[in-house]
Structure 1
């Protein structure tokens, strides 16, 4: 009777909890049992592990094999437990030494030939090891090495196959052992579509500059072909450079779906789900909860084109994440938390045909139809969007002329300077100022208070809108390098919240 115990990790939302892989061999009729709340993918490891061991030149024990994945009440999914299960069988049957297994954590899916296939969530597991204060090294597939090594001081040992891992523990010389993986120098220069390509729309460009500087959400309202999608696609190029911590957070979320690429390191995510997407697609879900579009856009941009065409109940799921920056997915058996600090950029037509208020006068939508169209966006969601501006048609003469707008790098430099001011003053971007911090950092002079009071009374804005206008005004002042919020800054902020009010 023999027993081997190895360490691995299971994903539960953003948490990668430690799992003990216990392998027990006993006499009796040959059997292979996996227990510990394992799903179908994990139970299928029996066939993969058997074939990988045999094709690696080892003997598969003709005994009763019991694999326990502890703790028993933690759900286990995916093929990442193949490698520790195979090593546990080989160690328990004395085919490889077991004296150094306790120094490592293991994860990797095995092919039938014994090759190691990449897994989801390698970066999240590496992050969890560091946050838990663990000192164990991590053996995983070669394809995941660069991703996992992004975590500072992580001891990553990549391998191509089960046989290579076994050679590491059976080695009598250093030359035969796995080498610790060092992450290659990362190039953080990112290429985004350039704002210089957009002709005209100076007012809209200015509003997007303000939104980028203060992390404010934006709604673009205009007829077809006015450039709403083109502007939104270039918005990520204006955002401040990601910090290492922000980049790790964003990469860890993308790693959970297998969508992270090392060449996208420090590139702001840009997600643009189709308007037929469900609520679960936006917030995440599934029997084993996985992140949705709003979490995959963490530290980046979520662009919702044709906003009223989304189902109203789908749009309303955005309300809480816009305020809290997190999303919690609850199921009967489990709960998962995902970060959701995204910047919302939405676009819509002014009416179903798209030409309400257009100079051509071709709109034939009745007022009732237009009202129902706008009513697809709930008031509470609209109230949470800081900047709501009209994108008008571009004059043909401007379209025919050469592009002469500012390139993204020039605008981004101003945005970065304003963001640095905010971080130095209050330690966060203006969008995240609390009510008490607004009272402290967004004081108005007499003329500014008069402007804001007049706007509140004229447009019947809520208390939430009041605070959002103050945050936008604070950002405008930061872009101007002004310590105080002037009346002109307040007036400009008011202009950025009138697109749907005057129609």
Structure 2
């Protein structure tokens, strides 16, 4: 329906059979990303509904463009209000973003020297606000791969095995939320559900408290760490969250508070 309203389905296309993958350019406007316009139309966040929205070179997007992502990431919907109309579009998507560590791309590189000044690195990271970073569950630094490792091409874990583990974890979540209409995954839990399904033992709670103080994390990051820890435990087939699950979830908050470049 969304793609049909936006005129993205050809006359002979019929129903969509694959989840959408949208990758807008970093020069995309705020209206194109969020929706609206003189004749209201869904934006990229709604065209990615039930699929993936991929933003490459994240800091190159305009600051105002990135800030409009806050509502859909939190509420999984977009409300566009103008003088002549007010419309609501669904926007339940997985956000995947990629960026360089600095303008030259070599900050923290093991073999090449970064030519950016500390102030330049901070300004580059500052293009992404703290509130937006709060809403991104996983921050993963991908280090360079040596040519010898690329040439070796050692076989990794097969995708089929990973899929089986994910399906098993999703089955656990489906059973957990079977009596809660509209809730299907850990990411959809509210505060009350977190208190019920993400209880921490004394060791895990103490670890998270120390991380909150040391990293100056927000209350939103606190909740997201618990959700991620719950998912890590699900993937491992554990019914209870352990200290190792919380520690791994904390490691995924490395870019939260502007520590990059220090």
Q: TM-score, normalised by structure 1?
A: 0.49
2:112 pairs with 1:361: yes
Cα displacement (A) at 1:302: 0.5
Cα displacement (A) at 1:262: 4.3
Instruction: Map residues 108-257 of structure 1 onto 2, 5 A cutoff.
Output: 252-257=1-6
Q: Give unmatched runs, 5+ long, in structure 1.
A: 1-251
Partner Cα separation in structure 1 for residue 24 and residue 48 of structure 2: 11
Aligned pair in 2 of structure 1 residues 445, 321: CA closer, same or farther (>3 Å)?
same
Match of 1:413 in 2: 164
Q: What is the aligned counterpart of 1:480 among 227, 231, 236?
A: 236
Partner Cα separation in structure 2 for residue 471 and residue 269 of structure 1: 25
Cα displacement (A) at 1:502: 5.2
Cα displacement (A) at 1:331: 2.2
2:203 pairs with 1:452: no
- Pairwise CA RMSD: 1.5
Partner Cα separation in structure 2 for residue 491 and residue 402 of structure 1: 30
Partner Cα separation in structure 1 for residue 220 and residue 7 of structure 2: 38
Cα displacement (A) at 1:406: 2.5
CA deviation vs aligned residue, 1:25-81 (integer Å, no higher than 9, x gap) = xxxxxxxxxxxxxxxxxxxxxxxxxxxxxxxxxxxxxxxxxxxxxxxxxxxxxxxxx
Match of 1:259 in 2: 8
2:223 pairs with 1:467: yes
Give the number of the structure whose alpha-carbon radius of gyration is greater.
1
CA deviation vs aligned residue, 1:2-35 (integer Å, no higher than 9, x gap) = xxxxxxxxxxxxxxxxxxxxxxxxxxxxxxxxxx
Task: Give the secondary-structure state (helix, strand or coil) at the position aligned to 2:78.
Answer: strand
Cα displacement (A) at 1:337: 1.0
Task: Give the secondary-structure state (helix, strand or coil) at the position aligned to 2:139.
Answer: strand
Match of 2:80 in 1: 329
Partner Cα separation in structure 2 for residue 332 and residue 408 of structure 1: 49
CA contact (8 A) 2:122 2:260 kept: no
Task: Give the secondary-structure state (helix, strand or coil) at the position aligned to 1:388.
Answer: coil
Cα displacement (A) at 1:335: 1.7
Match of 1:501 in 2: 259
2:152 pairs with 1:401: yes
Cα displacement (A) at 1:403: 5.0
Cα displacement (A) at 1:256: 1.4
CA contact (8 A) 2:125 2:260 kept: no
Q: TM-score, normalised by structure 2?
A: 0.92
Cα displacement (A) at 1:334: 1.8
Cα displacement (A) at 1:410: 2.4
Q: Give unmatched runs, 5+ long, in structure 2.
A: 179-183
Partner Cα separation in structure 2 for residue 309 and residue 421 of structure 1: 39
Partner Cα separation in structure 1 for residue 14 and residue 220 of structure 2: 40
Task: Give the secondary-structure state (helix, strand or coil) at the position aligned to 2:98.
Answer: strand
Partner Cα separation in structure 2 for residue 410 and residue 290 of structure 1: 40
Partner Cα separation in structure 2 for residue 365 and residue 450 of structure 1: 38
Return the structure number with greater relative CO, CA threshold 8 A, min gap 6.
Answer: 2
Cα displacement (A) at 1:263: 7.5
Instruction: Map residues 252-331 of structure 1 onto 2, 5 A cutoff.
Output: 252-260=1-9, 261-262=13-14, 264-265=16-17, 267-331=18-82
CA contact (8 A) 2:138 2:252 kept: yes
Partner Cα separation in structure 2 for residue 297 and residue 410 of structure 1: 27
Moved segments of 4+, more than 4 Å: none
Match of 1:422 in 2: 173
Aligned residues: 251
